[in-house]
A and B are shown apart, each in its own frame.
Chain A
Amino acid sequence: MSTSQLALLILIFPAAGAVLLAGRGWRLPRIVTKLVGPGVVWASFVVTLTLFFNNASGDFTYWTWIQSGSFNVPFNILIDNLSIFMCIVITGVGGLIVTYAVGYMDKEDGPSYARFFTYMDIFVFSMLLLVLAGNFIFLIIGWALVGLSSYFLIGFWYHRRSAVLAARKAFVMNVIGDVGMILGTFVLFVTYHATTYAKVFLAVGHCRLPQEALCLVANPDSASLELAAFLLLVGAIAKSAQIPLHTWLPDAMEGPTPVSALIHAATMVTAGVYLVGRMHPIYDVAVYAHAAVAIVGAVTALFAATIAIVQTDIKRVLAYSTMSQIGYMFLAVGIGAYSAGFFHLLSHAFFKALLFMAAGNVIHAMNDEQDMRKYGGLLKQLPRTSWSFLIGSLSLVGVIPFVGFFSKEQILGAAFSKPDASLALAVWAFGFITALVTGFYTGRMWWMSFAGKPSPDRPVEHPHEAPSVMLIPVFILAALATIGGFIQTRALGFGPHLVDDFLKSTVGAQSWEGGASEVIASLVTMALAAILFLAAYRIYIQHAWKPWSAVVPWAQRLLERKYYFDELYDAIFVRPMDALANGGLRYVEDPIIGGLVSGTGELAQAESHNLSLTETGYFRNYVLVFVAGAVVVAILILARAGS
């Protein structure tokens, strides 16, 4: 098969799976759902690997979707190293997670079970469309479909009010981002009259050259590029749960745990990073928007990490940790270290999916209890899950030789060593502090859950390990998180750098090289983070040291309220809107609009009653009217004839 057909096949598999499960899934035997749900994702993974090993690339146009004047939208798929990279992450890690879900969701009844895998396959399809799209219109379609399937999955347990509210919140936040994306696309279309990446980037790229004659359009001012880049950034921020559109992600943990692993850790939330990477020709020119990417990432990284310190729900800790890690990726692509950002995306997909699925095993064993304070001492009872979780945790902290060390330290090293860039140094400082905080909250999470004595409130006295369909994906990811870092050991200053080489053709090589100081800085960061990881043991298990919250109780309160962001948005947007709506109901809708509508009806009714009084039912009255009319007509005719 040709490359273009294979590329289409990647999309067709999950779409076909979703259609089959949506239409017939609940009537077919359960085993069909178990096979089809993950099977189609694995099929896409195999096709992706074929493309990967064939070094496939190209921009394939299948048909023209819209043709209206100069507005031309083809359906084209862009196969290059970046989209193949993303497809490997989505279908590979996604396949493991959907397989895991076969076990995790086993409690659901038949229709719900099929519904869950329908949603999962829709999500995988949307995400693949997002990364494979070769033009802005299909990018937006994928982008919006991803938001929609996320809504479905967060609200999967629709009988729980909190889940429905969380789904709605996520959807609204995502739509804010979609609007940003659409407006950004408008700006680009107005400026360049093109919707495909190829044409837009060609126009942007040519105009960077000194010979202005090569420009496809006359004098594209950089202001409109900046505007487009900022608007696209709004979309990226909303999808990736960065400040200030981040509040939906912690609430999204209401969804089933495989959903959190797939959507809110490994794939969907990294779409923003993908977007900035894909749009790098624009961001390379739009320097202010590019700096904003780095600043948003750095601030979110630290902000989210500090909140994670005080969370007690294990999935919420992981949610804030995800925000923080994606902040790192934004930071990386924001300073121009694109491939470092994408390496962290890959490594984060490994260890965060691992952490979520291991947490899912714990939650499963604890009868859906998510409060870490009610765990304790699980290491002996759930050894496999505990050790896997430890691998993920150490990877998150960034301890050598786990994958997180290499990816995170490469980002920090790139920021540290970027020449003549005070911004890079500033975001490095944020990243450095975040790394330390990460060490602490990860330590707190692991020690509280698995070490020490069992909590007296524990719901299950003798928990059992999960079935092997839930353990094997965890083990595979644990193995990947352990050895995956060795594909790129740039953080140490030597060794292979396969990811950088692979992505060089798409996002360009990093324009600067680090030195020895970068390596020393990364080792120091790791050591300090590891010490804080151990310090958490002293505080939360041995109670040897006074907890920090006893020293600064106001800070504890501030963090527990998540910096009052929800309250702030409630006060600024939600309550004024409610008040406006209520006021409109009371003062406009009821008296004016309602009055007009029902008033018309009442008036017609009253008047028709009056009119009906003329219907006496007496024959002679009717005849009288008839005769009178005839007389009047006769008089009129006579009057006209006489005049």
Chain B
Amino acid sequence: MSGFNAGGSQLDTSWFLLLAAVLFILGTVGVLVRRNPLIILICIELMLNAANLTLVAFSRQLQNLDGQLFALMSMTVAAAEAVVGLAILVDIFRHRDAEDIDDLSELKG
């Protein structure tokens, strides 16, 4: 074992994965139960970051930079997604008086 964790802790990778899983489930439940669109967007960010955490954790485990690179990539995507999502939300709220996401249910059968 050398390189990334040379001076760091010897914490096992499974702990990182466990934290990522907890974050991901928190994000998912947040998306499912919250009604505020902003909170939902934040929850989605949370899920993405959980995924990033797993990427970085495996990168550390496997002594390979690919995972970290991919995490950077996914952050970029997340930023773009947040921009688009916020733009849509701003547009919706500019046009109509919707308190939460359940008011946007025109497309029902």
Residues of A within 8 A of B (CB): 611-620, 623-624, 627
Contact = CB atoms under 8 A, between A and B. Distances in A.
Contacts of B28: 627
Nearest to B29: A627
A623 B107 contact: no
A623 B32 contact: yes
A102 to B, nearest CB: 73
What are the 5 closest A-B residue pairs judged by CB atoms, nearest first? A612-B109, A617-B108, A617-B105, A615-B109, A619-B101
Contacts of A623: 31-32
A616 to B, nearest CB: 5
Contact of A618 (B31, B33, B40, B102): B102
B97 interface: no
B109 A624 contact: no
Interface residues on B, range: 10 to 19
B32 A620 contact: yes
Given A617-B106, A618-B108, A620-B31, 19 more contacts: A611-B109, A613-B109, A615-B108, A617-B104, A617-B105, A617-B107, A617-B109, A618-B102, A618-B105, A619-B40, A619-B104, A619-B105, A620-B32, A620-B33, A620-B102, A623-B31, A623-B32, A624-B32, A627-B32
B87 to A, nearest CB: 17
19 contacts: A611-B109, A613-B109, A615-B107, A615-B108, A616-B105, A616-B109, A617-B105, A617-B107, A617-B109, A618-B105, A618-B108, A619-B40, A619-B102, A620-B31, A620-B32, A623-B31, A623-B32, A624-B32, A627-B32
Contacts of B102: 618-620
Contacts of B105: 616-619
Contacts of A611: 109
Interface string B5-49: 000000000000000000000001001110000001000000000
Contact of B108 (A616, A620, A624, A627): A616
A620 B37 CA distance: 11
B59 to A, nearest CB: 22
A75 B106 CA distance: 71
A623 B41 CA distance: 13
B34 to A, nearest CB: 9
A104 to B, nearest CB: 72
A623 B33 CA distance: 10
A14 B61 CA distance: 98
Contacts of B33: 620
B98 to A, nearest CB: 12
A619 B39 CA distance: 14
Contacts of B101: 619-620
A620 B31 CA distance: 7
A188 to B, nearest CB: 68
Contacts of A615: 107-109
Nearest to A615: B109
Contacts of A627: 28, 32
Nearest to B104: A619
B54 to A, nearest CB: 14
Nearest to A614: B109
Nearest to B40: A619
A624 B32 CA distance: 7
B13 to A, nearest CB: 18
Contacts of A616: 105, 108-109
A613 B108 CA distance: 8
Nearest to A613: B109
A322 B61 CA distance: 111
A447 B13 CA distance: 127
A615 B101 CA distance: 15
Contacts of B107: 615, 617
A579 B107 CA distance: 54
Interface in B78-109: 101-102, 104-109
Contacts of B31: 620, 623
Nearest to A616: B108
Nearest to A627: B28
Contacts of A613: 109
A159 B32 CA distance: 75
B6 to A, nearest CB: 32
A617 B102 CA distance: 8
Nearest to A619: B101
Most buried by A among B28, B33, B106, B109: B109
Contacts of A614: 109
